[in-house]
Amino acid sequence: MGENVDLSNVDAHVNGSNETSKKSNCFMWTGWTLGLEDVSMGLLQKCGAEFLGTMFLIVFCVGSANSTILQSLGSASLGYYLSISIAFGFGIGGIVHILSSTSGGHVNPAVSLAFFLDGRVSLLVALAYIVAQFAGGFAGAGILYEMGNFKENIEDGRLQSISGGNAVSASISQEHAFFLEMFGTIFLILTILSTIDKTRGHAPSYLQPLAIGIAILVMHIFLIPYTNCAINPVRGTVWNVIIGQADSDTLIFLFAPLVGSVVAVPLHRAFFKPHF
């Protein structure tokens, strides 16, 4: 697969010369490839885009949680929740729009896994994207951490007022948190796969990243009180590691979104594509 994996114009992966064959193929798993032919300068460009996009996500979206203005509202206030949710929703929507013509704007290993399972990218491309996303995430987390590393913000050798890490609320169990993160990721992946499905007659436009951003915004409003909303293995781990808050809960934010992808792809094929 040498073509761009573009969220705005990627083809729905169905074959056949007529409508009947297209519908029947919705049940079939087709298009899984190793992707050795994808090794090229084009892949390097796409990985660079994923690196930068994920770096932007951590710096600007997670960074919004460290805004002194927003923190002054109080982390339990409605204004704080809504502000963070809007920052993530519209911020990621903008990042997807920027990257859509090169890498497709995954910036999330759960999305790359879903695209592989749905036959839209090869295994090599998916793995390369995931490596680039984690590298970009750690780079962004390092930049964000250093941005807070100024004299007035240090007490006893430790940074103060660092926010944005993912953690399981005391009001729920780890099992509940895993389910919520998985369920939120399912909603995100279903939104993405439906939004880029050309069989629905969607014209490529800025409305596709906007739809994805709105889904992310809604998930943050719902999940912040319980897990601070990850639905992205990079977002859920790198900042926790950098700020020294990585623990057993962090494994939930690493694996639950991936499980959500595995569940979402067959759900989309079974219930959200026409078969008859």
pLDDT of residue 64: 86
DSSP class of 150: S
Please state the φ and ψ torsions of residue 158, each to the nearest 5 degrees.
Answer: -125, 145
Mean pLDDT over 119-123 rounds to 93
Class of domain 33-152+166-271: mainly alpha
Mean pLDDT over 11-33 rounds to 46
First to last CA, the chain: 29
How far apart CA 144 and CA 131 sit, in angstroms, is 20
- Stronger pLDDT, 176 or 199, i.e. the higher one: 176
- Both tokens of residue 199? 């069989």
Q: How confident is the model at residue 5 (pLDDT cuts 50, 70, 90)?
A: very low
Mean pLDDT over 123-150 rounds to 91
How far apart CA 221 and CA 109 sit, in angstroms, is 22
**Which amino acid does the sequence have at 113?**
L
Angle, helix 248-271 to helix 174-195, in steps of 10 degrees: 40
Structural contact between residues 18 and 106, judged by C-beta atoms closer than 8 angstroms = no
pLDDT of residue 158: 52
pLDDT of residue 170: 94
Domain positions in the chain: 33-152+166-271
How far apart CA 217 and CA 90 sit, in angstroms, is 7
Query: Does residue 16 have a pLDDT over 50?
Result: no
Count Cβ atoms below 10 Å from residue 140 Cβ, excluding itself: 28
| 3-state SS assignment for residue 268 | helix
Mean pLDDT over 188-206 rounds to 83
Give, in degrees to the nearest 5, the angle at Cα 99 between 39 and 269. Answer: 80
pLDDT of residue 149: 58
pLDDT of residue 18: 37
pLDDT of residue 19: 38
pLDDT of residue 164: 84
Mean pLDDT lowest among 74-88, 174-188, 210-224, 241-255: 74-88
